[in-house]
Chain A
Amino acid sequence: MRNAFADELTKLGDEEPRVVMLAGDIGNRLFDNFKARHPSRFFNCGVAEANMMGVAAGMAMNGLRPVAYTITPFVTTRCLEQIRTDVCYHEAPVTIVAVGAGLSYSGLGPTHHACEDISFLRSIPNMVVICPGDAFEVRAALRAAMQQDRPVYIRMGKKGEPVVHAGPIENFRIGKAIPVSEGKDVCLLSTGNMLPEAIEAAHKLKEKGISAQVVSFHTVKPLDEAFLKDAFGRFTLVATIEEHSLIGGFGAAVSEWLADTQMGSQNFVRFGTPDAFFKKSGEQEYAREMLGLSAHQIADKIVRALRRDR
């Protein structure tokens, strides 16, 4: 995802003179093309994220379209007050791009995990929260963010994730979920980097005779309420899947929506990380397995939920 981000940003930089790139001393060589083409619009802000976010807000307040980028916890929780007060309160069109969503950097330990950021950022007024499901969604989300006149948060995985979409997404819209496969029994609503895992879970369900639709629910705020309404009306079971805490994340947002619309939640299952730091060493795949987020575990839990239902 991150290479797609850097490439798309360079293109946007060519097209749009207001685009400015701010990095928190990260992305060694990643932005070489952008720097070469737009040296006056690239700033390494150092390991000083509070300042970086304030600078981005100041630029946006004066008509520019800054992108502020570093590893997820540092570009969200580290400078949360700057995001809230400088960016969101001023409605400054800053695009915050995070790399390393959820457990992408599992091996680096909990200092580098990010399983709370959606919760924090979606509670701030004026903020849009987008979790792209693959590299093409990153490109489309970045482009869509630049067309907004408001703050946007884009939560990316890392690099080398499987690409889900066949090519560039022509009709990407913020707040509009994208079905990536059809199904009739179960609806798997995936946000962010869990999309390949959700697709794999659907394959496993198919082997068991269960037809599952997979949806890239890339925008957590604002929610695609029309899609939710249809899905909860149509499917025996709806599941949310995210690499984020069950507290305050995508599943929580859908739960809130269910409570507010009084749709009931009998046919609803949530997949996410528990209320605990994942302290053990291990890469993303291992962490997912330990936390019940790998495809076969998702499929098994869905099967159990369907049995309970019947």
Chain B
Amino acid sequence: MNVAVRKPASQADADALKGRAAQLRGKIIDMSHAAQAAHLASSLSCADILTAAYWHVLSVNPERPDDPLRDRFILSKGHAAAALYAVLAMKGYFPIEELDTFCKDGCRLAEHPPANLLPGVEAATGSLGHGLPLGCGMALSGRIKGETFRVFALLSDGENNEGSVWEAAMFAAAQKLDNVCVVVDYNKWQATARSNETLMLAPLRDKWAAFGWDAHEIDGHDIGALAEAMQRVPNGSGKPVALIAHTVKGKGVSFMEDDNNWHYRAPTAEEVVKAHKELGLA
């Protein structure tokens, strides 16, 4: 296993980021409970990846969400919208109170991220296999216009079932889009079954490497390592970068971890209290 292990800048930084991720998970759980919305476990599994990206990697400014030179982060696994909304609110793209409107009638925070409606949402996703082609287009347009931003796309492992992902993977490699980085939230589950028992993904890193990417396996809950690896993009390889992030679905709450019922289940009030306690938020 080719695991990129990197130490965070300092222990204090690492602790701060861990605290941030715990807060993020708490928000996501609250939103799932209030809205009785699905995809809680999918949102929890990528919480550390989002924390690393938004607090340690992305060059973005919530005051200027349309800045042409901003880094692009595309939540291609759009079903983890709750996680993205919570991050964007915590970053100040919109008021934190707006998270209370998640999935409510007439609100901006729909169950999947909307197009041209909410600051900070780069692309409307929810149908899988769309984020990477869009991201490649954005990256190429940057090259044409002389803008040097980077594009990060967060994919689910189930999303790797989609042929368009692999079309885009070959395209990005042919175009040498070394400012594009895919992070696969490899939690080993898709909606209704183990991902490798549904369509064979393994060996996933080798597949991305064979498609012409600089591909690495990484601990998807090691915020410091994620931040290092993402921050290195473009990393001098001349290739787009794929980070196969090993994660646990439902990460952070013992009774949700690796239990795929939480793909659709929403927590009760008692379960919210229990979860907050486990996250050290109580």
Given contacts A46-B170, A82-B164, A85-B127, contact A58 B136 (CB under 8 A): yes
When distances are taken between beta carbons in the complex, the residues of chain A under 8 Å from B142 are: 62
Task: Report how far A20 CA is from B136 CA in the complex, Å.
Answer: 14
Determine whether the beta carbon of A54 is less than 8 Å from that of B130: yes
Chain B interface category by residue count: 20 to 34
Question: Is there an interface contact between B115 and A90, defined as CB atoms closer than 8 Å?
Answer: yes
| In-complex Cβ contact of B138 among A40, A52, A61 (8 A) | A61
Residues of A within 8 A of B174 (CB): 46
Interface: A41 (CB within 8 A):
yes
In the complex, A87→B150 CA distance in Å? 22
Question: Are A51 and B171 in contact, with the CB atoms below 8 A?
Answer: yes
Whether the Cβ atoms of B133 and A59 lie closer than 8 Å is no
Q: Does B148 contact A (CB under 8 A)?
A: no
Chain B hits for A62, CB < 8 A: 68, 137-138, 141-142, 145
- In the bound complex, what is the Cα–Cα distance between A306 and B226 (angstroms)? 75
- Across the interface, B144 reaches (CB within 8 A) one of A40, A50, A86, namely A40
Is residue B140 within 8 Å, beta carbon to beta carbon, of the partner chain? yes
Q: Using A45-B171, A55-B133, A82-B164 as known contacts, say yes or no to A61 and B144 having CB atoms under 8 A apart.
A: no
- Residues of A41-90 whose CB lies within 8 A of B: 41, 43, 45-46, 48, 50-64, 66, 81-82, 85-86, 89-90
Contact of A91 with B by CB under 8 A:
yes
In chain B between 115 and 134, which residues have their CB closer than 8 angstroms to a CB of chain A? 115-116, 123-124, 127, 129-130, 132-134
A63 to B145, CA, bound (A): 9
Whole-angstrom CA separation of A115 from B72 in the bound complex: 39
Tell me which of A53, A58, A66 has the highest count of chain B C-beta atoms within 10 A of its own C-beta.
A58
Known contacts: A58-B136, A85-B127, A85-B130. The answer to whether A50 contacts B167 by CB under 8 A is yes
Of the listed residues B127, B134, B142, B143, the one surrounded by the most CB atoms of chain A closer than 10 A to its CB is B134
Complex Cα–Cα for A279 and B127 (A): 34
Tell me the nearest residue of chain A to B147, going by C-beta. A62
B280: Cβ under 8 A from any A Cβ: no
Shortest C-beta distance, A304 to chain B (Å), equals 48
With contacts A54-B134, A61-B138, A63-B68 known, is A90 near B167, CB below 8 A?
Answer: no
**A58 touching B141, Cβ below 8 Å:** yes
Do residues A58 and B137 form an inter-chain contact, with CB atoms below 8 A?
yes
A54 surroundings in chain B (CB, below 8 A): 130, 132-134, 136-137, 164, 168
Instruction: List, in ascending order, chain A residues with CB within 8 A of B135's CB.
Output: 58
Residues of chain A contacted by B198 (CB below 8 angstroms): none
* A56→B123 contact, CB < 8 A: no
A91 to B141, CA, bound (A): 17
Given A55-B137, A86-B133, the answer on whether A64 and B168 have CB atoms closer than 8 Å is no
| A48 contacts B138, C-beta separation under 8 Å | no
Inter-chain CA distance A98–B130, complex, in Å, is: 22
B residues near A85, Cβ cutoff 8 Å: 124, 127, 130
Is B203 at the interface (CB under 8 A from chain A)? no
For B137, give its contact among A40, A46, A56, A81 (CB under 8 Å). Answer: A56
Q: Do A61 and B134 contact each other (CB < 8 Å), given the known contacts A50-B163, A50-B167?
A: yes
Also in contact, A91 and B115, with CB within 8 A (given A51-B171, A58-B135): yes
Say if the beta carbon of B254 comes within 8 Å of chain A.
no
Bitwise, A75-119 to B at CB < 8 A (1) or not (0) is: 000000110011001110000000000000000000000000000
| A57-B167 contact in complex given A63-B141, A64-B145, A90-B124, C-beta closer than 8 Å | no
- Establish whether residues B141 and A59, one from each chain, have CB atoms under 8 Å apart when the complex forms: yes
B124 touches A89 (CB 8 A): yes
Q: A54-B133, A82-B130, A86-B130 are in contact. Are A59 and B140 (CB under 8 A)?
A: yes
Report the bound CA distance from A59 to B142 in whole Å.
Answer: 8
Between A40, A41, A85, the greatest number of chain B beta carbons within 10 A of the residue's beta carbon is seen for A85
B181 to chain A, nearest CB (A): 15
Compute how far the CA of A55 lies from the CA of B174 in the bound complex, rounded to whole angstroms. Answer: 14
CB distance from B27 to the nearest CB of A (A): 27
Instruction: For A81, list chain B residues within 8 Å (CB).
Output: 127
Complex Cα distance A71/B143, Å? 28
B230 to chain A, nearest CB (A): 20
Residues in B whose Cβ lies below 8 Å from that of A51: 133, 136, 164, 167-168, 171
B168 (CB) vs chain A CBs: closest residue: A51
Q: Which residues of A contact B164 (CB under 8 A)?
A: 50-51, 54, 82
Check B140 against A55 for contact (C-beta < 8 Å): yes
B175 interface hit (Cβ, 8 Å): yes
How many Å from the CB of A24 to the closest CB on chain B? 11
Task: Give which listed residue, A40, A55, A64, A90, contacts B123 with CB less than 8 A.
Answer: A90
Residues in chain B within 8 A of chain A (CB atoms): 68, 115-116, 123-124, 127, 129-130, 132-145, 163-164, 167-168, 170-171, 174-175
Q: What 8 pairs between A and B have smallest CB-CB spacing?
A: A58-B137, A54-B133, A51-B167, A48-B167, A55-B137, A62-B141, A58-B134, A50-B164
Known contacts A58-B140, A59-B138, then 14 further A-B pairs from the complex at CB < 8 Å, ordered by chain A residue = A43-B140, A46-B174, A48-B167, A48-B170, A51-B136, A54-B132, A55-B140, A57-B134, A58-B133, A58-B137, A61-B138, A62-B137, A81-B127, A89-B115
